[in-house]
Amino acid sequence: MGATGRQADLLLSHLQSVLGDRYCLEHRIGEGGMATVFRAQDRKLNRPVALKLLQQKLRTAVGLERFQREVSIAAELAHPHIVPLFDADRTSDDQLFYTMPFLEGDTLRSRLERERQLPLADAVRIARDVADALAYAHSHGFVHRDIKPENIMFVGEHAVVTDFGIARAISAAQDEAGPPIGTPLYMSPEQTHNGPIDGRSDIYSLGCVLYEMLAGAVPLAQPTSLRAVRATVSLELEATVMQALARTPVDRFASAADFRDALAVPGAAAAAVDPRSVAVLPFVNQSGDPALEYLSDGLAEEIIGALTQVAGLRVAARTSSFSFRGKEADLAAIGARLRVATVLEGSVRKSDTELRVSARLANVADGFTLWSKHYDNASMTQVFEIEDNIARSIARELRAALTDWEGRPARPVKAYFTAPTRNLEAYDLYLQGRYQLAQRGLGLARSLELFEQAIALDPDFALAHAGLAEAYTVVAQYGLVPTALVGPRAATAAERALALGPELAEAHCARGALSMVCEWDWDRSRTALHHSVELAPTYVTARLWLAFYLVFVEGRFDAGIAQAERAVELDPLSPLAALQLGMTLLGTGRYELSVALLERARGLATDMFLPTLHLGLVYNQIGRTKDAIRMFEEALVISGRHPWTLSALAVCYASQGDTRKPRAIREELAARARHEYVQSSMLAVLAALVGEMDEAFTLLEQACEEHDGILVYAKRYPFFNVLQSDPRMGRILEGVGLR
């Protein structure tokens, strides 16, 4: 073993001796200009962490008091592209260290070492993720001071920024003189000369990183033209990078948000937007009759459905496209937000029994009309033919882009549209049912009614049967009715959907969700959910259910997160997608990373109680009990005192050593259980919280017999932490089929 290896072993041994009561040091990960990094296990919270020991030169420069103060503030940064901080302290021999989540993913440096230059779309996407993180941090008074490929990691397909632990508040950085903190190759000129800095210093550093991703080398003081190195870089993208690299701060972008948005401008980021992409906006109802909203929505919905079947075409999800309903937004803004190259917009007008439908396909980059058509004097029975015609026309217009890498057509352009039902009223009821189901709250019972009404009007409406099966599954999972009552009904609906539409992703998704939640048939669930994604890669619901299956059943964390992230990418403005990505992260123990997603879902749907409930669960896990209680109390009101919200509040009180309030909550739910259904799993948790473990496991065994819909999550959900240390929990998990 060489001297370097012996020194590393000695350092690891020494750290273990001075930190052994708090952390179990496992091995050295690497070393940089700022710190030596170790993988460790937090003994108190039983989670893996990356422990970073600051280099000697920084210990004197930073000082413990300021270091702890700034890290404690930085720890409050909650953003999906920022790796949060856990702790900052010193060892008994005055060495400074801090900890953060241990991530298995690659660093950008590792990827650059393998590839040297990245695809244009990847480079722009990574830079936008980092700029988004910086915009958030700067708005909270922090500059990073050391943006470089080593401090950019990947979680799934997204970039996250590490090492905000040595950042200094902007005001302090402007007022204090001190040694430059950062990596020379990526330092801004003002940072190199130890001058006052603000967020524009980070913009310069990110400009260096983006330049390196595109050119394969860090820029010099006078950077070589990007287009001279790589001809595929657009003039707009080169200008954006060069503005970020301006030597004088005032000549750069005024903010990281401006830099991020410049990378989203169609001309600047053309390479990052697939030309084979389209968003279908809700058609405008010009009839003045609110009752015809279903017709304008149905037109757009079905055109979306038809276009998703076109090989090679990326179609923005309905939730995201429909978020622009009634808003004044130009094509460039819509294209940037939804990351599409083309937009279809249209209108519907009805007079007596005749319709006038107008549609226009426009290019986002220049607003040029690619195709337009008016359908005059159409009858209500011709609506589906109009939808078919529009879908065909869009596919034909974009056919030049729908080619594989050799330039051959990916598939012959043909009609992909099949009317799901000829009954417009049934279709309207189905759309309403899907909306209520996606709210995951008080509207669940209403969704059942709507799907059943749609089926009554058209018994052969396969999508309505699939929706009904999924709604029954969610109703059982949420404890509104026993699984024994609705499970068979869900199975009947799912099998009917498969018989009517064996090619429908929705039918296979409903079957897979039912098999997971109510039947605990893992083989069937796995097969059905994977097949659903294969049939319709853009079907967001299937990816969300598959993410839950991969994380909570198989324990394949990275694969599950990747599915949930893809769902959010497909439907970025969907509250359900953001919620379930947050819940997926929660299930993997990545609590801090889930906060921003849950906050995002909460902002997108203020009447949905689940984001608020799960924020409370996360806050309680990371020690923010006051915030947790505030969230739970809010969720109680929104949900009408759903048993989950009461049980979660009891868990929070118990974590503070309070058993009186959990007992009161238990009495409330026990009283309700005498006249309404309350999941045995929740009653078991409450029994455990007040120390009645025998009663808790009697209830859990009952929950197993009932196929309680929440037990599929029992191995990894914070609700059940109080039970995990009891050896009897292993038998419960075996009963569910979780190993």
pLDDT per residue as tens digits for the range 175-214: 444 555 567 889 999 988 877 888 999 999 999 999 999 9
Q: Whole-structure pTM over 0.75, yes or no?
A: no
Q: pLDDT-based confidence at 411, cuts 50/70/90?
A: very low
pLDDT of residue 22: 86
- Round the CA-based radius of gyration of the chain to a whole number and report it: 28
Between 163 and 56, residue with greater pLDDT: 163
Q: pLDDT-based confidence at 33, cuts 50/70/90?
A: low
The token duo for 729 is 């929990």
**In this model, does residue 521 exceed pLDDT 90?**
yes
DSSP 216: S
pLDDT of residue 568: 84
Q: Which residue has the tokens 């970020």?
A: 244
CB 429 within 8 A of CB 451: yes
pLDDT of residue 181: 59
How much is the average pLDDT of 496-508? Answer: 95
Q: Which residue has the tokens 């695809």?
A: 119
pLDDT of residue 664: 96
The token duo for 361 is 């396909």
Task: Classify residue 440 as left (phi > 0), alpha (psi -120 to 50) or beta.
Answer: left
Cα–Cα dist 244/185, whole Å: 15
Between 395 and 643, residue with greater pLDDT: 643
pLDDT per residue as tens digits for the range 123-174: 999 999 999 999 998 988 888 888 999 999 998 778 999 887 565 533 343 3
Burial of 453 (C-beta count, 10 Å sphere; 0-12/13-18/19+): middle
pLDDT of residue 605: 82
Name residues whose C-beta falls within 8 Å of residue 131's C-beta, 6 or more positions apart in sequence. Answer: 203, 206, 256, 257, 259, 260, 263
Between 471 and 139, residue with greater pLDDT: 471
DSSP 719: G
How much is the average pLDDT of 477-506? Answer: 95
Q: pLDDT-based confidence at 104, cuts 50/70/90?
A: confident
**In this model, does residue 453 exceed pLDDT 60?**
yes
The mean pLDDT value of the chain amounts to 84
Specify the 3-state DSSP secondary structure of 33: coil
Name residues whose C-beta falls within 8 Å of residue 700's C-beta, 6 or more positions apart in sequence. Answer: 680, 681, 684, 723, 729, 732
Residues 3-101, CATH architecture:
2-Layer Sandwich (3.30)
CB 343 within 8 A of CB 266: no
**In this model, does residue 416 exceed pLDDT 50?**
no
How much is the average pLDDT of 506-522? Answer: 97
Q: How many CB atoms lie within 10 A of CB 400?
A: 10
**In this model, does residue 403 exceed pLDDT 50?**
no
**In this model, does residue 73 exceed pLDDT 60?**
yes
Looking at 622-690, list the stretches that DSSP marks H as alpha helix, in order from N- to C-terminal side. 625-639, 643-655, 660-673, 680-689
Between 398 and 26, residue with greater pLDDT: 26
C-beta contacts of 68-74 below 8 A and 24+ residues apart: 70/165, 70/166, 70/167, 70/168, 70/169, 70/172, 71/98, 71/165, 73/141, 73/142, 73/169, 74/142, 74/164, 74/165, 74/167
Cα–Cα dist 427/303, whole Å: 14
How much is the average pLDDT of 13-20? Answer: 82
Percentage of the chain with pLDDT > 70?
Answer: 85
How much is the average pLDDT of 319-345? Answer: 77
pLDDT of residue 180: 56
CB 27 within 8 A of CB 102: no
Q: pLDDT-based confidence at 412, cuts 50/70/90?
A: very low
How much is the average pLDDT of 483-511? Answer: 96
How much is the average pLDDT of 34-45? Answer: 84
**In this model, does residue 270 exceed pLDDT 60?**
no
Between 604 and 734, residue with greater pLDDT: 734
How much is the average pLDDT of 638-663? Answer: 94
Cα–Cα dist 739/737, whole Å: 6
**In this model, does residue 112 exceed pLDDT 50?**
yes
Catalytic center residues: 146
**In this model, does residue 43 exceed pLDDT 60?**
yes
The token duo for 634 is 């809010």
Percentage of the chain with pLDDT > 90?
Answer: 42
Residues 108-272, CATH architecture:
Orthogonal Bundle (1.10)
How much is the average pLDDT of 3-7? Answer: 55
Q: pLDDT-based confidence at 423, cuts 50/70/90?
A: confident
What are the φ/ψ torsions at residue 658 (nearest 5 degrees)?
A: -95, 115
Cα–Cα dist 343/365, whole Å: 10
Cα–Cα dist 201/245, whole Å: 10
CB 676 within 8 A of CB 708: no
Q: pLDDT-based confidence at 559, cuts 50/70/90?
A: very high
The structural domains of the chain, with segments of one domain joined by +, span: 3-101, 108-272, 278-288+301-343+358-397, 641-739
pLDDT of residue 328: 66
Burial of 283 (C-beta count, 10 Å sphere; 0-12/13-18/19+): buried
**In this model, does residue 641 exceed pLDDT 50?**
yes
Amino acid in position 292: L
Cα–Cα dist 579/504, whole Å: 25
CB 246 within 8 A of CB 274: no
pLDDT per residue as tens digits for the range 566-606: 888 888 778 899 899 999 999 998 887 788 788 888 888 88
pLDDT per residue as tens digits for the range 209-265: 999 999 888 887 778 778 767 767 876 788 889 889 999 998 899 999 989 988 875
